[in-house]
Amino acid sequence: MHPGRPVSRDATPVVIEAAINGARSKADNPHVPLSSAEMLASIAACVDAGASVIHVHAGQPVVGSSGHHDPAPYLALFAAARARHPGLALYPTLPGGGPGTTMAGRLAHVFALARAGLLSLVPIDPGTMNYGQVGPDGQAPVHDRVYQTSFEDVAWGFAACRQASLGCTLSLFEPGFARLMEAHRRAGTLPQPVLAKLEFSAGRRLFGLAPDATGVAAWLRLFDARRIPWMVTLRDGDVGRSLAGLAIRRGGHVRVGLEDHGGPGTPRNEDLVAHVARLAIRAGRRPAHPEELPELLAQAGAPDTDVRLPETP
């Protein structure tokens, strides 16, 4: 199953998330899974390689969308994946917010999956940002795309998760996102369990921090990493080249997948997962199993009101 995993079950687990497609096309990489059959095959291969969380897009736009996604494609796909891998954590994308959208509408497909018993982690990206990247000609973007989730949106989403006893997964695109997450943790309004994704950029994507030890350390000063499990993700490079190793050695987790991959070649999702699984084993850790994820996240999120972070100078 997980190649070269002769490590103790007592080794500290590494959660590996596979973001299998995103907005990528076959022109980007011929191995991007787009049909239901391709996505199911990719999910199975990723789990076999060591993934315990799967993130899927069903071909609907995120930024610039109507703020509502049809749950039907996700319902069929998630049911089939769960039939093969009971307990596997899968979650869909969160449509972008903005004028004319509501958080209830943006999360309608997510809560439809939860009511069907197919989802336990709700995607809530706690903040607003200009969404763009440097063009192939080196020019800065001039469009007006904004990925928006207001304070009110975040509070609504967190309250809905708490009411439904659901955890959440948070993409932290900018430092203020982490500060808001930590503010909710201190206030006792952050849903449990939670999994925070620290966003990095090699320079083409215009958000996140530099993918190096300084960038990791800077992120970890903004929230209590002893109480909030975190993982690294790099959307314009190869997270497995150095950033994954840094995270694993610091007790973190790793997101990989063709949605994010900006490295060389045309790998498959399971190739990227297997590489991080090998890094974990070399570091004396092991890939987490899907069935142990809820307990793993819950243990990290045990409340402790006495915890205080060092002040940032």
What was the pLDDT predicted at 271? 98
Sequence-separated (6 or more) residues with CB below 8 Å from residue 69:
58, 60, 92, 93, 95, 108, 109
Q: Report in angstroms the alpha-carbon separations of 241 from 50, 173, 197, 261.
A: 18, 21, 18, 11
What was the pLDDT predicted at 145? 86
- Residue showing tokens 């109507």: 66
The answer to whether the beta carbons of residues 2 and 279 sit under 8 Å apart is no
- How far apart are the C-alpha atoms of 183 and 168, rounded to whole Å? 16
What was the pLDDT predicted at 221? 97
CA–CA–CA angle 217, 46, 15 (5° rounding):
30
Per-residue pLDDT of the chain (313 residues; tens, 9 = 90+): 454 445 666 789 999 999 999 889 899 999 999 999 999 999 999 999 999 999 999 865 444 456 678 899 899 999 999 999 999 999 999 988 888 889 999 999 999 999 999 999 999 999 999 988 898 899 999 988 888 999 999 999 999 999 999 999 999 999 999 999 999 999 999 999 999 999 999 988 899 999 999 999 999 999 999 999 999 999 999 999 889 999 999 999 999 999 999 899 999 999 999 999 999 999 999 999 999 999 999 887 554 433 333 333 3
What was the pLDDT predicted at 1? 46
- How far apart are the C-alpha atoms of 85 and 198, rounded to whole Å? 27
pTM: 0.91
What was the pLDDT predicted at 158? 98
- How far apart are the C-alpha atoms of 294 and 171, rounded to whole Å? 19
What was the pLDDT predicted at 197? 98
